[in-house]
């Protein structure tokens, strides 16, 4: 594995994840979150540091996984890698409907966002982490 490529790819993937999630959750799903405000922590109780760490760990782990299994692949393999890894992460999102008092729409949109996030990260990593 190449540490420099891992670092660059992870930072680029993290930047994508940060922007994607800000747009997806901050704008697209804003009304749904406001309609179910009683379920969520108050904004002042949210810990942005934990969120950023979570996003970076996702980007880093995806990059390391790609470095192990896909480093000789091209971008089109990055699409498959991203979508499949997104589906693995998205599957448990459906269960949130079972234990949170939220509309199924929120769980389904979370699933879609995770698959799209995986796709974007897969493409970025495949493009940047070339053998």
Query: What Å distances lie between residue 80 and 23, 49, 63, 123, CA to CA?
Result: 24, 31, 14, 9
Q: What is the mean pLDDT of residues 101-125?
A: 97
* pLDDT confidence of residue 12: 98
* pLDDT confidence of residue 130: 77
The predicted-structure confidence for 94-109, as pLDDT tens digits, reads as follows 999 999 999 999 999 9
The predicted-structure confidence for 43-95, as pLDDT tens digits, reads as follows 889 899 999 999 999 999 999 999 888 766 677 788 899 999 999 999 999 99
CA gap 99, 41 in Å, rounded: 16
Instruction: Please check the confidence at residue 131 and state whether its pLDDT lies above 70.
Output: no
Tokens coding 4:
């420099």
* pLDDT confidence of residue 72: 66
* pLDDT confidence of residue 86: 94
Query: What Å distances lie between residue 102 and 21, 25, 34, 45, CA to CA?
Result: 19, 15, 11, 20
């Amino acid at each position: 594995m190449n540490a420099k490529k891992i670092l660059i790819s992870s930072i680029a993937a993290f930047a994508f994840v940060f922007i994607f999630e800000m747009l997806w959750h901050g704008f697209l799903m804003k009304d749904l979150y406001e309609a179910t405000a009683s379920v969520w922590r108050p904004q002042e109780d949210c810990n942005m540091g934990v969120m950023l760490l979570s996003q970076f760990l996702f980007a880093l782990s995806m990059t390391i996984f790609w470095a192990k299994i896909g480093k000789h692949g091209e971008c089109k393999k990055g699409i498959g890698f991203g979508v499949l890894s997104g589906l693995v992460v998205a599957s448990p999102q459906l269960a949130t409907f079972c234990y949170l008092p939220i509309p199924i729409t929120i769980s389904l949109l979370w699933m879609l966002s995770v698959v799209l996030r995986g796709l974007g990260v897969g493409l970025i990593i495949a493009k940047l982490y070339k053998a």
